[in-house]
Amino acid sequence: MKRFEDHAALITAAGSGIGAATAHRLAEEGARVLVTDIDEAAAGKVAASIREQGGTAREFACDVGDRAAVEAAVAYAVETFGRLDVLVNNACACHPDAPLFEDEDDEVWATDLDITLTGAYRCARAALPHLVASGRGAIVNIGSVNGIQDFGNHAYSAAKAGLASLTRTLAGHAGPRGVRVNLIAPGTVRTAAWAGRDEQLDTMRELYPLGRVGEPADIAAAVAFLASSDAAWVTGAVLPVDGGTTAISSGFKIMRD
């Protein structure tokens, strides 16, 4: 039996990259998946690809910065699939730092925190009653090694560290209600954000003990584990999926540059 038979999942920012790979992975294992993204056309392509491969998926436009949009996405998932068992908070915003910290912009700071941290909060708040009702609910937050060590990006890193803290506090609150909450902290992953920067990725590859940067499928596999009954006694955990980069202390400046 597939691990997610008779499960329904909602994934944010699933129109590409880690989110798309996760949608495919959960669907391959039997889940009915709501592919959400601020770009509805991108979400639609992923959902269509899943259906072409024999899976069950729908798309829905969702801006996690908008509470009404989040609540509408959750309601649509429950209405369409009859339940909600898994929430994957993947949406984030990451703007480059100003050369000097004192020149950082308030709007950039606010945007990165609102989408990356508060967006996950909005989604968890809307989904939690349904996850409780499922009797096997799981939330998997996509964090970052930036929330663990210094790799630059002040606002994004602060947001990801905050997401790890929210993971722990929500795990304590939701555990007695039957819902597990965990976080994956990826290292560098080859997504569209790195398009045209193959040379930089090659340089960064040398800094990972496992000798390569990550692929979206690496993160999707970890999501599938934490969302499944295989992780039935795991909650409040931060799981680095980073090729070993947080286990070493050299080369960080090169990674930041």
Q: Which residues are catalytic?
A: 156
Nearest to 31 by CA among 62, 9, 49: 9
218, HSE (Cβ side, Cα atoms, 13 Å)? 18
Give me 109's structure tokens: 């700071």
Is 74 in a helix, a strand, or coil? helix
- Decide if 32 contacts 81 (C-beta within 8 A): yes
> In angstroms, rounded to a whole number, what is the distance separating the alpha carbons of residues 162 and 70?
20
- Decide if 67 contacts 122 (C-beta within 8 A): yes
> In angstroms, rounded to a whole number, what is the distance separating the alpha carbons of residues 151 and 207?
13
> In angstroms, rounded to a whole number, what is the distance separating the alpha carbons of residues 177 and 190?
36
209, HSE (Cβ side, Cα atoms, 13 Å)? 10
Nearest to 26 by CA among 16, 11, 13, 45: 11
Backbone angles phi, psi at 205, to 5 degrees: -55, -35
